[in-house]
């Protein structure tokens, strides 16, 4: 049975909730970095028909997508609703669609152009970041986007790892490192910056192999991306990761592993902004340590992301750190079984 068929069978068993078509899937205000300083960020997840690829082992975003394709008016209402949420005087806007902002099947050219030109006219908005798969990054789409927006623009691509074998055999991502590099080159030709999302600990990797994968991925990706965001794998419902987690065959990464990756990654790529938002930290389905130190370690990771100062990790310690070191040392010999929950 192929990997894609397994993922599709899991997807077919899920119940999908439906949301009003004129409301985004989610919108929230947080913090990010702009030109080396912290700034408010408005994150919007538009409700579209969702990702055309829809095959990745860790991705449950498909369940957030619209049952019927939303109209131009629906999407503009989603946009207006989202823009009314941020009260800060200046902020950046991060656009997600549970798929690709540049896929015309999710958001057509006219709607995309109208959103970007409204963001361009809004003086509170200092920069826009939009997530997309690399195959939708074309010169034509970027030219239209750049002239509609007229202010700093960034494309964010879920590269996950620089290792083609891990991306294929553990994530089922469906594109290669060179696809990512090509999209990045097109972006740069149009004055658009690039952000890469990496994934710490997809299925089938031991804790140590996952750490090494991230450290080499940061080093190999940094020449092609000004910002790298390391996602710490969390267990989303209705995914292969979820099935393996329920059987005891998968444990999300330790927060100590994230600290190690951020410290070593920053050492290897000092000129690159390296970030991580430890979503779900401390829970069984999120990245976690022993339960006692999770809040402190997650908060250090958040501070590092805003300051880029690895010194924030210096004072951190807990009894579980020794256990984590043992897991990293021994898990390669367990043929994929997790040693500690
Ligand atoms: S490409 Fe992105 S949105 Fe699509 S299935 Fe993979 S992780 Fe999910
Ligand atoms: Zn601990």
Let me know if residue 274 belongs to a domain. Answer: yes
CA distance 289 to 281: 9
From the CB of residue 276, how many other CB atoms can be counted at a distance below 10 Å?
26
For the segment 28-77, what is each residue's pLDDT rounded down to a tens digit? 999 888 988 889 999 999 999 999 999 999 999 888 888 889 999 999 99
pLDDT at 335 over 70: no
Let me know if residue 338 belongs to a domain. Answer: no
With CA atoms as reference, report the closest residue to 133 among 113, 163, 152, 106: 106
Ligand 1 pocket, mutate which of 53, 131, 134, 233 (most atoms under 8 A from CB): 53
pLDDT at 127 over 70: yes
For the segment 276-333, what is each residue's pLDDT rounded down to a tens digit? 999 999 999 999 999 999 999 999 999 999 999 999 999 899 999 999 999 999 887 7
For the segment 239-256, what is each residue's pLDDT rounded down to a tens digit? 999 999 999 999 999 999
pLDDT at 85 over 70: yes
Percentage of the chain modeled with pLDDT above 70: 98
Ligand 2 centre distance from Cα of residue 288 (Å): 9
Let me know if residue 30 belongs to a domain. Answer: yes
Question: Among all ligands shown, which has an atom nearest to the Cα of 323?
Answer: 2
Ligand 1 centre distance from Cα of residue 104 (Å): 16
For the segment 106-124, what is each residue's pLDDT rounded down to a tens digit? 999 999 999 999 999 999 9
Q: What is the mean pLDDT of residues 2-11?
A: 82
CA distance 210 to 266: 17
Q: What pLDDT score does 11 carry?
A: 79
Q: Which long-range contacts (CB under 8 A, 24 or more apart) does 175-183 make?
A: 175/133, 175/134, 175/135, 177/220, 179/134, 179/135, 180/134, 180/224, 181/224, 182/134, 183/134, 183/135, 183/137, 183/155, 183/157
Assign 183 a pLDDT band (cuts: 50, 70, 90).
Answer: very high
- Number of domains the chain is built from: 1
Ligand 1 centre distance from Cα of residue 313 (Å): 31
Smallest CA separation from ligand 1 atom 6, residue: 56
Residue 89's alpha-carbon distances to 41, 92, 125, in angstroms, are 11, 11, 9
3-state secondary structure of 106: coil
Q: What pLDDT score does 64 carry?
A: 83
Assign 9 a pLDDT band (cuts: 50, 70, 90).
Answer: confident
Report residue 105: phi and psi, to 5°. Answer: -70, -20
Ligand 1 centre distance from Cα of residue 25 (Å): 16
Ligand 1 centre distance from Cα of residue 54 (Å): 5
Question: Among all ligands shown, which has an atom nearest to the Cα of 133?
Answer: 1
Let me know if residue 180 belongs to a domain. Answer: yes
Q: What pLDDT score does 290 carry?
A: 97
pLDDT at 334 over 70: yes
Q: What is the CATH number of the domain that holds 115?
A: 3.20.20.70
Q: What pLDDT score does 336 carry?
A: 61
Whether this prediction's pTM lies above 0.85 is answered by: yes
Let me know if residue 268 belongs to a domain. Answer: yes
Question: Among all ligands shown, which has an atom nearest to the Cα of 48?
Answer: 1
- Paired with 198 in beta bridges are 160, 230
CA distance 240 to 248: 12
pLDDT at 129 over 80: yes
Report residue 74: phi and psi, to 5°. Answer: -60, -45
Residues with CB under 6 A from ligand 1: 51, 53-56, 59, 61, 98-99, 133, 158
Let me know if residue 205 belongs to a domain. Answer: yes
Structural domain including 259 reads: 3-333
Let me know if residue 341 belongs to a domain. Answer: no
pLDDT at 234 over 80: yes
Q: What pLDDT score does 197 carry?
A: 98
Q: For the ranges 10-19, 145-154, 170-179, which has the lowest average pLDDT?
A: 10-19
Let me know if residue 210 belongs to a domain. Answer: yes
């Amino acid at each position: 049975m192929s990997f894609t068929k397994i993922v599709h069978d899991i997807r077919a068993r899920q119940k999908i909730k439906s949301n009003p078509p004129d409301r985004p899937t989610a919108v929230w205000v947080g913090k990010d970095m702009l030109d080396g300083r912290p700034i408010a960020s408005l994150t919007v997840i538009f409700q579209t028909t969702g990702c055309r690829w829809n095959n990745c082992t860790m991705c449950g975003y498909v369940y957030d997508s619209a049952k019927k394709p939303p109209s131009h008016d629906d999407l503009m209402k989603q946009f207006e609703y989202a823009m009314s949420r941020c009260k800060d005087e200046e902020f950046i806007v991060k656009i997600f669609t549970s798929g690709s902002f540049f896929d015309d099947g999710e958001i057509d050219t006219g709607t995309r152009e109208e959103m970007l030109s409204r963001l361009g006219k809004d003086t509170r908005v200092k920069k826009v970041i939009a997530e997309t798969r690399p195959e939708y990054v074309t010169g034509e789409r970027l030219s239209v986007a750049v002239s509609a927006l007229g202010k700093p623009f960034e494309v964010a691509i879920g590269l996950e790892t620089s290792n083609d074998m891990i991306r294929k055999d553990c994530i089922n991502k469906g594109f290669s490192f060179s696809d990512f590099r090509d999209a990045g080159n097109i972006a740069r030709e149009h004055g658009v910056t690039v952000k890469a999302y990496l994934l710490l600990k997809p299925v089938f990797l031991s804790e140590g192999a996952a750490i090494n994968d991230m450290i080499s991925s940061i080093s190999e990706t940094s020449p092609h991306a000004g910002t790298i965001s390391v996602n710490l794998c969390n267990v989303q419902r209705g995914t292969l990761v979820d099935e393996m987690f329920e059987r005891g065959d998968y444990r999300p990464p330790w927060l100590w592993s994230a600290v190690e990756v951020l410290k070593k990654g920053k050492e290897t790529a000092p000129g690159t902004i390296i970030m991580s938002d430890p979503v779900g930290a401390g829970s069984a389905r999120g990245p976690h340590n022993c339960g006692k130190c999770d809040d402190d370690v997650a908060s250090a990771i958040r501070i590092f992301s805003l300051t880029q100062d690895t010194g924030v990790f210096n004072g951190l310690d807990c009894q579980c750190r020794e256990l984590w070191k043992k897991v990293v040392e021994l898990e390669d010999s367990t043929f994929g079984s997790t040693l500690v929950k």
